[in-house]
């Protein structure tokens, strides 16, 4: 009879969620079973229910924790960085940091949100749309100030966010890389372009 260990910085529920994120990332939410999750902790499946309410609840915890961190950082950046360039640079740096420090959770939030149940699904999508809108407002401001050139701000935002989501591909390839180097490359590429 193994026991679920509470991590140094969290409850046993947090430990379950963390393990679940790793499992969901590898197998996908639907394909990952509670039995597997329990197995990965050396425990029987029903034991998990002493700590969590349901499988769905775990996914909700993952998605909203991540969403909240991104939103919070966006608002913070808005008040600390004033130029479009420095703001977008801050966003890139934060996405890289999140991807490095919370790979599983970020991946799951990006790929398995569709498995959320209402009203959480709608909620999550709303939060994302808000994020995109605020970012688009930055770009629009930058365009007005002649800082950026771009025809459609939404094209820029969606391209930008997609490219950042692609950071996961980078980690998947498991190349050895420095976060700073990666950040510089992406800033140069997205903001200054590929062409010499």
Partner DNA sequence: CTACAAAACTAACATTTATTAGTTTTTATG
Partner DNA sequence: CATAAAAACTAATAAATGTTAGTTTTGTAG
Contact residues: a copy of itself, CB under 8 A: 27-28, 30-31, 85, 88, 111, 114-115, 139, 146-152, 154-156, 158-167, 169-170, 173, 175, 177, 181-182, 184-186, 188-196
In terms of Cα–Cα distance, which of 90, 93, 85, 55 is closest to 75?
A: 90
Give how far Cα 44 sits from Cα of 12, 21, 29, 40, 59, Å. 15, 18, 19, 10, 20
Contact predicate 97/179, CB 8 Å: yes
Q: Tell me which of DNA, a copy of itself, none is bound by residue 75, counting a contact when its beta carbon lies within the kind-specific cut-off of 5 to 8 angstroms.
A: none
Q: Tell me which of a copy of itself, DNA, none is bound by residue 152, counting a contact when its beta carbon lies within the kind-specific cut-off of 5 to 8 angstroms.
A: a copy of itself
* Cβ closest to a copy of itself, residue 12 vs residue 103: 103
- Per-residue binding letters, 4-43, with DNA (x by CB under 7 A): x-------x-------------------xxxx--x---xx
Q: Which residues contact 9 (CB under 8 A, 6 or more apart)?
A: none
């Amino acid at each position: 009879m193994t026991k679920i260990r509470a991590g140094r910085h969290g409850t046993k529920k947090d430990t379950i969620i963390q393990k679940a994120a790793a499992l969901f990332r590898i197998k996908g939410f639907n394909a990952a079973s509670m039995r597997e999750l329990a197995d990965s902790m050396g425990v029987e499946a029903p034991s998990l229910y002493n700590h969590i309410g349901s499988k769905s609840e775990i996914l909700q915890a993952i998605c909203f924790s991540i969403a909240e961190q991104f939103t919070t950082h966006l608002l913070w950046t808005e008040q600390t960085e004033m130029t479009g360039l420095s703001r977008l640079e801050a966003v890139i740096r934060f996405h890289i940091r999140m991807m490095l420090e919370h790979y599983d959770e970020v991946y799951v939030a990006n790929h398995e949100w569709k498995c959320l149940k209402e009203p959480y699904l709608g909620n999550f999508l709303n939060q994302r749309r808000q994020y995109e809108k605020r970012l688009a407002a930055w770009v629009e401001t930058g365009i007005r100030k002649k800082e950026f050139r771009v025809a459609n701000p939404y094209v820029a935002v969606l391209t930008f966010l997609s490219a950042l989501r692609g950071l996961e591909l980078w980690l998947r390839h498991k190349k050895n890389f420095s976060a700073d180097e990666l950040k510089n490359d992406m800033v140069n590429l997205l903001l200054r372009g590929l062409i010499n």
